[in-house]
Structure 1
Amino acid sequence: MDSPRQLSSPTLTNVIPLAAGIIVALVGIAAKIQPLQSGIMGFTAGVSGAATASLATKKEREILLLAEQELSKTKINNTLSELQEQKKIIDKDITRLEERRSQSEKIAGELEIRQAKRDSIEAEIKNLQAVQQNLESRVAEINKANPTLENLEIRQKEISRLQSIIKQLEGELFAYKSKIAEMEQKKAGLEEKEALYLKREIEIKEISEQIQQGQVKLKDLNRQAVELELLRNTYDALEREKQTYESQKEHLYAEVIRLGAEKDRILAEIKELEGRAQESDRLRAEIADLKAKRRIAEDLLRDIQREIEQHEIIKDNLINDIARKDAEINRKKNNVSELEQRIRELKQEISDLEDSARVALQTLEEPIKDLIPVQRQGINEDDFLNQFSNSLKVKGLDFHERIVKAFHTSLKVQDISALVILAGISGTGKSELPQKYADFIGAPLVMLPVQPRWDSPQDLQGFYNYIEKKYKPTQLMHYLYQYQQDRKMHGRIIMVLLDEMNLARVEYYFSDFLSKLETRRSKPTYLSLDVGSLKLPEKQRDILIPEEFLFIGTMNEDETTQSLSDKVLDRANVLTFGRPNELKLRGRKIKYEKAENYLPWNEFVKWTKEPDPDSPMVIEIKDFVDRANAIMEKLGHPFAHRVYQAIAKYVVNYPGAEQDLQIRRQAIADQFGQKLLPKLRGIRIDEASTELDEMKRLIQELDDPALTEAFDRAKQGRYGQFQWKGMLYS
């Protein structure tokens, strides 16, 4: 049987925290909704009031109205998210309340079971009480039997005395026998006394009955003894008594036998009474044990009654709590219905917003057309350059072989030098070279004419027009978006041309983008599509900058342009297009023919190699770069690992540099002219003559006339300053 602690502990431990947890959860949910709604309404009213008070013109009011609409959409989306979260919480709370109610019903069932157990225990106690009463009655009987037992002991003593008398009588009977022998002749005379003897026999029987009663029988025996004594006094009496004693003898033998049997019976009864006495002791012990059990049962019953009373109180509280929770659930269900209605309204608004998002991104969603379907496979790099140079000549374009190789190599190493800049005076073919290169490899060319007003990344990427509610992408963003969405564009090279990129300050509109171009070599790099408050999936909002996009910029060097900062120079290769030695006519116009196949990215990257730091060529490159860096440090323009890594990769990937020392020195000279010497612009020649002479001696070791001539020309700059104009190839 369970103890009171075992019966009460699970219920009190589970039920009370259960009810408390439900109440706290419901109060917390109810407390979340109203502040959110009032906060949103207050914020909207504050923004609206402040904006209305500050507007003075119709145009400003329209702009503010659009901003408020976007803000309202943002708040609607936020409210929708909050309401959806609250709905989930309420649904969970309803589920928990249903579980609590089922648990309460389970507890009520347990209480009913325990009530049934209580009834069973009470019935058992009643049975124990009946057994106790029975035992008490038996004990009373035993106690009542004790006097009888004592009487029997007295009777046993009396029987022993009677036995001694009987033995005495037997002795006397032996004497009588002798007398009887003498008196046999008188037997006939004694027949008349037979009736008397019969009467005596009846009396003896009565004496036997009196013997059972003790003292009465003793008096009869004494009387008989007196009578026997009288018989001894007279002969006649003896004669008469002879037959009487004979019959008495027989009857006495029978009585002796009967008394023996009675003795045995009495002894058996005594033994039985002794057994009953032992049984009485056992029953007394059992009664004591039952009384102890009864006290324990009564204590247990009182504990159970107290626990049942407590459970009745808890049950009543739970029933009341369940009623309250049912009312609360109904109220919450009504709130859920209202929230669901609100969610449906907000979903409709979101659907409207999504429709507006589709309209806003309509320009970006337009697929790129006229893509060349066939790939070009297995072409050798040298053959490719020869074919490209020949195609330029066929079109009447005369680009120096070194310019073509430098441009091609700069495109190959764009993972570290993320931009190729073609600088020079107008009309030297700076824009035509990347266009013809794109045509030859079958790559789309994204043309971005830079405007002097460009001053932010939006000018490069596009912007969201809040009035028209449309995103206005540049061609670059259109191609980036479609490259991510359209699988037909994957694996294609896309060339991006920033035409006259220094009409505006490059750092204003291109600096962040250039940093992203540099990081794409180590991890995927994304642009964030600025669409205001429109809700877009992450795949649409985050635009990947693929490594297949190659970036080229052109620069006119005149008084209308801006110079490049060291940040841009470190991340770019600058190729200079100088004044031609001889002016020529272009010749007949060649009809543009679209390429029949395109060079895929996986074929292009096969031509790219990584520098081996232990190779003799890289060791030679490092020697020149280290010596140049020491001189640059003296001039106040040192550089770090990025520049060295970019130079090494450029030289290693320059066509023919590994096999030919002269070509390798040309490639190193290209990097001096493209990355290092432009950093020295503006220094005072007279103040840095020693270091410039040291740099010249290092340049002369490269034995490259074009670099030497460009260095000497820079030292003759106006105002006594070093003015780098780039290398000119003839």
Structure 2
Amino acid sequence: MENIKVTKEELLHNPKITNEEICDYAYGILGTDNGWVYGRIVEENTKSFQMRPYDVYGKPATLFLREKTCRIDLDRDKDLKIGNYICGRLDPRKDKNKWSYYLIDVGRLDSKEEFTNKLIEKLKKKWESEDFRIDNDDLPQFDGKIALYDWATDYVEAMLERKHKVFNRKIETGKAELEGIVNKIDKKQSELNKIQGNKNQMEEEFKQLKKQIKEAEPKYAHYLELGILSDHQMVPDIRKDYAYSSYEELINQVWGYLWKNENLYYEKAIIKAFMNALRTKQLTLLWGRPGTGKTSLPIKVAHALGAKCIRIQVQSNWTDNQDLIGFFNVVDKRYVSTQFLDALIEAEKNPEQLYFILLDEMNLANVEYYFSEMLNVFTWDKPYELPLYSDRIRTRLQAELKEAEVAEEDIRELVAQLADMDYYKPSFKIPENVRFVGTLNTDATTKTISPKVIDRSCLIELQAMAEEVKRTEAENLPETVVLDGNRVVVKAERFKVPPANNNEDSDLLSKINEIRVLGLPVSNRVKTYINQWNGGDETLIDLDEVVLVKILPAIDLDYKHNHQTKTMIEELKKIIQDCERSFRKIERMEKQATDTERLKYWED
């Protein structure tokens, strides 16, 4: 906006002021662009309207004292009438030495507020980033001494200054709050620095400790080699001993644990057969199609009981005892051990802990070859001593050490060899807290199980469970499961094989004798199995289980040409007619025999 060239007093009292100067003054005092003025129509004649310009509203513009109104041509807008607020561009004209003021580009305003809105729109362009307002009631404060635009600018800046004062007060308040927060941060930072200092100190101590351990490792290894120290550390067992009231309760708890805690769904009869086998000196063999849980069963039962299960993967190239229990290296005069032997030694050092040694996929190699020495374990009433090497070797080394007049290095070697022999003794007594479990596959890559192995084993077949059976089993699960190997333990003494109770007159043994009379291959090992159970605190084993795990696995007979086979089976079915699981198994064996011409336990 250009500066006003003349004052209001000059306009009112100096007759030499031209109409052009009056227009310039009008533009400046009203704060308009391009000569725009605002006013109200006050008079009407046949050809034109007369408009009185206003400073803002309600006050006539004093600069037009010479000319009270501006003439407006009727043809400009026929819709106008007296009282309308209008705006237009002031156009001074000189006609016969007389100046007249015309309003061109006329526009009608619906209200006084429209002028205010137009003004505010212009002001907003100057203060786009600020939040301000001008009320209609504030505009009459304008006194016409300066340009309206400048007045509005001063007004807005004063308003913003008040606003900024309030904002500054908030800033001061915020600074005070911020200072309080900074003080808290400084305090926390001080605490953090202290913690960091402690951390650095601990890290330095840990670094020194690692250095000391590294320096001590050769000495520790040397002491281990000499037998002065043992790498086996006894850790106190703080788990609670589960004092079950009956073995039936323990079986139910294991069964419920597998279902509810491990999502492993086995029939109770399977769990019962497995748990019964743990109370005897038998090799427990689990077989069935892939996915039936052969490997999971012993591992998870061990966890339920708080026992330890050591899984050993049988290799197809195993051919003799050395593959299982190791051998003595006569060159180095050291025993070359195996995972199997080390597991037995570990079990010996933890007599209260029950151990399962799981031979996975046991028939990948010929069991009677690599397991031949171990098969004797299941035939002795007393703990079996496993021969590893000749005791004369150790005696000879002891004599060499006693008479040695050699270098200190050679003496240390002799001492280390003797210490090794003290750990791997010439013969090793099988601990009573160990149970042996094997899994079997039934495909073309595996070896057939020999009668000798079957005679020393409890065979348990695992099958996929039908949905109907699963629903029935789930209904009978125990309501509460307390077993958890991390908190509760069933100690090995609970599974100690009792002395045989030779009860020849028992009903169960009488039934077994009836089966033997039929001519079926019934081993005396069956009687041992029953007597070991009868020597316990209670008897849960029944005819159905004995037939299923000890008698049927030994059957392998000519079904097509030997007519006595069918006769024997019919008589057997009469004896075990109440044994549901054994009866179903025999029917499956007969069905398979119609195709294979042999009646046998194993199914393809």
TM-score by length of 1: 0.42
- For 2:427, the equivalent position in structure 1 comes to 542
Select 2:513's aligned residue among 620, 623, 626: 626
Find the aligned partners of 1:449 and 1:701 in 2 and give their Cα distance.
40
Select 2:571's aligned residue among 687, 697, 708: 697
Q: Does 1:719 pair with 2:596?
A: yes
Find the aligned partners of 2:307 and 2:554 in 1 and give their Cα distance.
33
Find the aligned partners of 1:647 and 1:528 in 2 and give their Cα distance.
32
Q: Deviations over 1:357-395 (max 9, x none)?
A: 964999x95326777443515322233222212211112
After superposition, the Cα gap between the structure-2 partners of 1:518 and 1:366, relative to the gap in structure 1 and judged at 3 Å, is farther
Matches within 5 A, 1:290-689: 359=225, 366-367=231-232, 372-374=237-239, 376-380=241-245, 381-394=247-260, 395-414=262-281, 418-464=282-328, 471-484=335-348, 486=349, 489-519=350-380, 521-523=381-383, 525-528=385-388, 535=397, 536=418, 540-582=425-467, 595-605=486-496, 610-611=500-501, 613=503, 618-632=505-519, 637=521, 639=523, 641-650=524-533, 657=540, 667-681=542-556, 683-689=557-563
Native 8 Å contact 1:480 1:544 kept in 2? no
1:566 Cα shift? 1.4
Q: Deviations over 1:231-270 (max 9, x none)?
A: xxxxxxxxxxxxxxxxxxxxxxxxxxxxxxxxxxxxxxxx
Other structure's SS at 1:445 match: strand
Other structure's SS at 2:506 match: helix
Which has the larger helix fraction?
Answer: 1
Find the aligned partners of 2:361 and 2:341 in 1 and give their Cα distance.
19
1:645 Cα shift? 2.5
Other structure's SS at 2:600 match: coil
1:559 Cα shift? 1.5
Native 8 Å contact 1:360 1:469 kept in 2? no
1:411 counterpart letter in structure 2: L
Native 8 Å contact 2:526 2:546 kept in 1? no
After superposition, the Cα gap between the structure-2 partners of 1:372 and 1:473, relative to the gap in structure 1 and judged at 3 Å, is farther
Other structure's SS at 1:686 match: coil
Find the aligned partners of 2:502 and 2:290 in 1 and give their Cα distance.
40
1:707 Cα shift? 1.4
1:697 counterpart letter in structure 2: E
Find the aligned partners of 2:509 and 2:484 in 1 and give their Cα distance.
44
Q: Deviations over 1:602-648 (max 9, x none)?
A: 23349x6854526xxx5322222122112235xxx463x33322245
Native 8 Å contact 1:443 1:599 kept in 2? yes
Other structure's SS at 1:453 match: coil
Matches within 5 A, 1:212-231: none
1:401 Cα shift? 0.3
Other structure's SS at 1:454 match: coil
Q: Deviations over 1:91-128 (max 9, x none)?
A: xxxxxxxxxxxxxxxxxxxxxxxxxxxxxxxxxxxxxx
After superposition, the Cα gap between the structure-2 partners of 1:655 and 1:726, relative to the gap in structure 1 and judged at 3 Å, is farther
Other structure's SS at 1:378 match: coil
1:495 counterpart letter in structure 2: F
Find the aligned partners of 1:522 and 1:382 in 2 and give their Cα distance.
27
Native 8 Å contact 1:428 1:579 kept in 2? yes
**Residue ranges of structure 2 left out of the alignment (5+ in a row):** 1-220, 398-417, 471-482
Find the aligned partners of 2:560 and 2:364 in 1 and give their Cα distance.
32
Native 8 Å contact 2:533 2:539 kept in 1? no
Native 8 Å contact 1:422 1:554 kept in 2? yes
After superposition, the Cα gap between the structure-2 partners of 1:528 and 1:375, relative to the gap in structure 1 and judged at 3 Å, is farther
Native 8 Å contact 1:420 1:553 kept in 2? yes
Find the aligned partners of 1:619 and 1:611 in 2 and give their Cα distance.
11
Q: How many residues align?
A: 341
1:512 Cα shift? 1.4
TM-score by length of 2: 0.50
Find the aligned partners of 2:461 and 2:560 in 1 and give their Cα distance.
26
Q: Deviations over 1:549-597 (max 9, x none)?
A: 111111111121112111111111000012433599xxxxxxx975224
2:511 counterpart letter in structure 1: F
Native 8 Å contact 1:452 1:503 kept in 2? yes
Native 8 Å contact 1:573 1:674 kept in 2? yes
1:454 Cα shift? 0.8
After superposition, the Cα gap between the structure-2 partners of 1:546 and 1:495, relative to the gap in structure 1 and judged at 3 Å, is same
Other structure's SS at 2:561 match: coil
Q: Deviations over 1:9-65 (max 9, x none)?
A: xxxxxxxxxxxxxxxxxxxxxxxxxxxxxxxxxxxxxxxxxxxxxxxxxxxxxxxxx
Native 8 Å contact 1:464 1:530 kept in 2? no
Q: Deviations over 1:205-232 (max 9, x none)?
A: xxxxxxxxxxxxxxxxxxxxxxxxxxxx
Native 8 Å contact 2:242 2:488 kept in 1? no
Find the aligned partners of 1:377 and 1:398 in 2 and give their Cα distance.
23
1:546 counterpart letter in structure 2: P
After superposition, the Cα gap between the structure-2 partners of 1:512 and 1:505, relative to the gap in structure 1 and judged at 3 Å, is same
1:482 Cα shift? 3.7
1:447 Cα shift? 1.2
Find the aligned partners of 2:390 and 2:311 in 1 and give their Cα distance.
21
After superposition, the Cα gap between the structure-2 partners of 1:483 and 1:576, relative to the gap in structure 1 and judged at 3 Å, is closer
Other structure's SS at 2:249 match: helix
Other structure's SS at 1:722 match: strand
Other structure's SS at 2:440 match: strand
2:231 counterpart letter in structure 1: E
Q: Deviations over 1:654-697 (max 9, x none)?
A: 9764xxxxxx6xx212222222222222x221223333333333
**Residue ranges of structure 1 left out of the alignment (5+ in a row):** 1-354, 585-591, 658-663
2:600 counterpart letter in structure 1: Q
Find the aligned partners of 1:360 and 1:467 in 2 and give their Cα distance.
19
1:480 Cα shift? 2.4
Other structure's SS at 1:366 match: coil
1:464 Cα shift? 4.4
1:528 counterpart letter in structure 2: L
Find the aligned partners of 2:535 and 2:575 in 1 and give their Cα distance.
19
1:642 counterpart letter in structure 2: R
Q: Deviations over 1:524-545 (max 9, x none)?
A: 5244258995644677332221
Native 8 Å contact 1:430 1:577 kept in 2? yes
Find the aligned partners of 2:486 and 2:389 in 1 and give their Cα distance.
33
